[in-house]
């Protein structure tokens, strides 16, 4: 859902929200198990899809 361009709010659609959530979850994963949970929640068929799209474990 997009807001009115004149309302001064950022223009977010469902895909932008999903991408933001996935990036935050991937970048804050502190273990392989947390990254796997994120992968499963996104519904990707392979963990590599999540890693290529959203990042990797940084800690």
Q: What is the DSSP letter of 31?
A: S
Residue 1 lies in a domain: no
Domain assignment present for 4: no
Tokens of 13: 């659609």
Please name which of 18, 14, 12, 13 lies closest in space to residue 43, comparing C-alpha atoms.
18
Q: Does residue 3 sit within a domain?
A: no
Q: What is the mean pLDDT of the chain?
A: 77
Number of domains in the chain: 1
User: Is 7 within the bounds of a domain?
Assistant: no
Range of the domain at 39: 13-54
Q: State residue 58's pLDDT score.
A: 52
Per-residue pLDDT of 11-39, as tens digits, reads 778 888 888 888 888 788 888 888 888 88
- Tell whether 18 is covered by a domain: yes
Stated pTM of the model: 0.58
């Amino acid at each position: 859902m997009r807001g009115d361009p004149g309302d001064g709010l950022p223009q977010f659609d469902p895909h932008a929200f999903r991408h933001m959530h996935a990036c935050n979850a991937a970048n804050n994963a502190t273990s392989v198990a947390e990254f796997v949970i994120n992968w499963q929640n996104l519904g990707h068929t392979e963990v590599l899809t999540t890693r290529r799209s959203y990042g990797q474990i940084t800690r």
